[in-house]
Structure 1
């Protein structure tokens, strides 16, 4: 998957340099529509796990768009790791799947899935919940009580992501100076439009 995305990125960079240079807003629009959409394919299945190679692709693209070092660029843009959305999709899929009581086939599939709980692929699911402070049994108990956990888990994942961004900055060379100017909102300069040459015949 990463190899396919790198090919797409090469094309996006080539077009981007000519059409909008380092216009962050338009650059990220292209990233979300052409690159992130590929990564998010079947995230409902693999979204329990964080893939470092996928996260590196986003950081590399952000660095190209703004020209900053990797340790700064995610904090400046407030872009979350792709694992946040992937995890949200995986949790939402599981909840939807387990709630479809009107379908016997789906319920039978869900029973088989739960039987697979001790195998490797479902260990990733356990680690995901535990990383957010919940045991799988606790999650299932809350769902049986009619409580959806998708949004709560996503909020926790976003908080963890923010802590990771800040801790990464703290160990870098110019961290003391940067911490004095860092803000909680996205800087306004990211909204500036690039005034370079445009070719309307290009996509």
Structure 2
């Protein structure tokens, strides 16, 4: 597993180890070429191959209309949310094998960009297109899928969850009348990466 901050990575590793899960934690900012290469190289040195890649890194520095978004912010959104994922996969590609799985974390905003964070939504729309393109390019050996969750109460979505009225307005527009959870996203990713999916595909 990876993260930008060493403290967060260490804490996550300890929690997983406490549950009996074997885990390797590596600090990696996906926009840093050397850190990307270190992530891939360290993983391959440890395990000899790469079975699953979950591309989850994303930023949204501001909440402003698209046509008011500064060029520097446009660059940051593109570099982190889209370009870095492609470059990471270019580094990883030689180590993928038959049955490997790539999972992008897109967003509901990729289908319907929200007015105050439209450019973020556009980058997530791009990930949906990237998923389709790579699925065709890497088939039949490597599976490529995307998960597009709605708003999930994490630190990333504080602007939604910090205000109870705002949070309720988002809950009200969902069919289940609630926000999603990180555990639900993790469960979907685990299924897409699992042998179970391979079995279902073979039967169909």
Q: Using structure 2 for the length normalisation, give the TM-score.
A: 0.31
- Select the structure of larger CA radius of gyration: 1
Structure having the higher helix fraction is 1
Q: Using structure 1 for the length normalisation, give the TM-score.
A: 0.31
Structure having the higher strand fraction is 2
Q: Whose RCO is larger (CA < 8 A, sep 6+)?
A: 1
